[in-house]
Amino acid sequence: MFAKLGEIIAFLLYSMYNVRKETFMGKENDIQWHLGFCAAMELELREYADKLEFHREYPLSRKPLLIDLLVVEKTDDFEITNDIGQIFRKHNIMEYKSENDTLNEDTYFKVMAYAYLYKSSEKHIGDIDINSVTVTFVRERKPEKLLRWFSDNNYKVYEKTRGIYYVEKDGFVKTQVVVTAEVGEKEHIFLKTLKRGLKRSTVDNFLDEAFELHEPFEKDCINSLLGIMVSSNQELFDSIKNGGTGIMNEVLREFFKEEIKAGEEQARNEGVREGRKEGRLEGREEGRIETLYTDCNMSVPDIAKKVSKSEEYVREIIKKISAACL
């Protein structure tokens, strides 16, 4: 039924026994890009939250074979206007590739294997029409070589909307490639934050959008994304926290509240310690002036020279001492 079925079956077997999901651990400075991607997509499609199910790292088998994000339509009585979701059918497999991950024809066939494994898994035997399954690849950089490979191998490739490329071939699962560097920031602000070297303007646009979101799941996604943004853009957010590039809005203040609270507590403690230190110094100084004045009978000018203070300061201390004795 399907072209190159032998290749796909071979890839299925390879996936079941040998494929281990690529992870960011150790090569991406432990930044959990995939977690951020799932959060971004849930925010992208938040308008349809009651009609879609989101399954992060969906297990395909008892072995560690996971789909980055599985989006399942609960009903078929609605239409998604978000241009990333326009390709969606009942079951939608999404694969995210961070800036250093490979996206080539082998990656494509691996995710096709995921699609067929998902369709034929014990949980879904006989229940899923393969035509109700779609695949989406998401990466910041455009995979030029992969798109050329598609064209060279008789796939139809065209840009559906800015930064979103449809890949079609009879007998194969409907596929799209989303290039986050090319999609509009206004329409896809959450996906646009998944990168190093963020501009302050992008952060501001993200915060403006995030400020309007109040549902618990939305706030959870915002916090997940902020964690990725801060980890991958530490210098920028340090500058924001320290007041170097503008004022933090309520979203950031909430995210950094524990850090801000700890900083304020530290500042208060340091202030108290400094006050006590100054008090002790001042007390010792007054005691010395009192000794020189009462026990040594030194004049105000001589005391001022001795303690390296002005005569006016010494006179004030002597007045203070005298008043305390009354």
Identify whether residues 36 and 142 lie together within a single domain.
Answer: yes
What is the pairing mode between strands 156-161 and 164-168? antiparallel
The answer as to whether 305 is a domain residue is yes
Per the rule left: phi > 0, alpha: psi between -120 and 50, beta: everything else, 263 is alpha
- Mark which of 167, 197, 227 sits at the end of a domain: 197
Domains of the chain: total:
2
Nearest by Cα to 175 from 103, 101, 242, 244: 103
Range of the domain at 65: 5-197
Cα separations in angstroms, 317 against 245, 274, 307, 322, 323: 46, 22, 12, 9, 10
- Reply yes or no on whether the pLDDT at 247 is more than 90: no
The answer as to whether 111 is a domain residue is yes
CA atoms lying within 13 Å on the CB side of residue 83:
18
Identify whether residues 109 and 30 lie together within a single domain.
Answer: yes
Segment among 47-51, 207-211, 241-245 with least mean pLDDT: 241-245
Question: What distance in Å separates the CA atoms of residue 174 and residue 115, rounded to the nearest whole number?
Answer: 11
The stretches of 121-233 forming alpha helices (DSSP H) are: 144-152, 189-192, 200-211, 216-232
- The pLDDT tens digits of the residues spanning 72-94 come to 999 988 999 999 999 999 999 99
At 266, the pLDDT band (50, 70, 90 cuts) reads low
Question: What distance in Å separates the CA atoms of residue 202 and residue 221, rounded to the nearest whole number?
Answer: 17
- Mark which of 143, 164, 197 sits at the end of a domain: 197
Higher per-residue confidence, 221 vs 297: 221
pLDDT for residue 211: 85
Identify whether residues 21 and 100 lie together within a single domain.
Answer: yes
- Mark which of 175, 197, 219 sits at the end of a domain: 197
- The pLDDT tens digits of the residues spanning 187-215 come to 999 999 999 999 999 998 998 888 888 88
Identify whether residues 188 and 272 lie together within a single domain.
Answer: no
Tell me what percent of the residues of the chain surpass a pLDDT of 70: 74
Q: Mean pLDDT of all residues in the chain?
A: 79
Question: What distance in Å separates the CA atoms of residue 299 and residue 85, rounded to the nearest whole number?
Answer: 89
Identify whether residues 172 and 321 lie together within a single domain.
Answer: no
Identify whether residues 273 and 180 lie together within a single domain.
Answer: no
The dihedral formed by the CA atoms of 235, 237, 243 and 248, expressed in degrees to the nearest 10: 170
The answer as to whether 250 is a domain residue is no
Tell me what percent of the residues of the chain surpass a pLDDT of 90: 36
The answer as to whether 238 is a domain residue is no
pLDDT for residue 120: 86
Contact call for residues 33 and 191 (beta carbons, < 8 A): no
Higher per-residue confidence, 8 vs 205: 205
Higher per-residue confidence, 50 vs 20: 50
Identify whether residues 180 and 310 lie together within a single domain.
Answer: no
Residues facing residue 179 across a β-bridge: 139
pLDDT for residue 160: 96
Identify whether residues 23 and 124 lie together within a single domain.
Answer: yes
Segment among 43-52, 126-135, 188-197, 271-280 with least mean pLDDT: 271-280
The answer as to whether 244 is a domain residue is no
- The pLDDT tens digits of the residues spanning 132-146 come to 999 999 999 999 999
Identify whether residues 165 and 271 lie together within a single domain.
Answer: no
Identify whether residues 24 and 101 lie together within a single domain.
Answer: yes
pLDDT for residue 310: 82
Higher per-residue confidence, 123 vs 70: 70
Identify whether residues 172 and 311 lie together within a single domain.
Answer: no
Segment among 46-60, 184-198, 263-277 with least mean pLDDT: 263-277
Query: Per-residue DSSP letters for 160-183?
Result: EETTEEEEE-TTS-EEEEEETTTS
Name the one residue in this structure whose structure tokens are 């006179």.
Answer: 315
Segment among 122-131, 149-158, 244-253, 293-302 with least mean pLDDT: 244-253
Query: Per-residue DSSP letters for 114-126?
Result: HHHHHHHSGGGTT
Residues 235-247 have a mean pLDDT of 69
Residues 164-175 have a mean pLDDT of 96
Segment among 146-160, 266-280, 290-304 with least mean pLDDT: 266-280
pLDDT for residue 249: 60
pLDDT for residue 323: 62
The whole model's pTM is what? 0.66
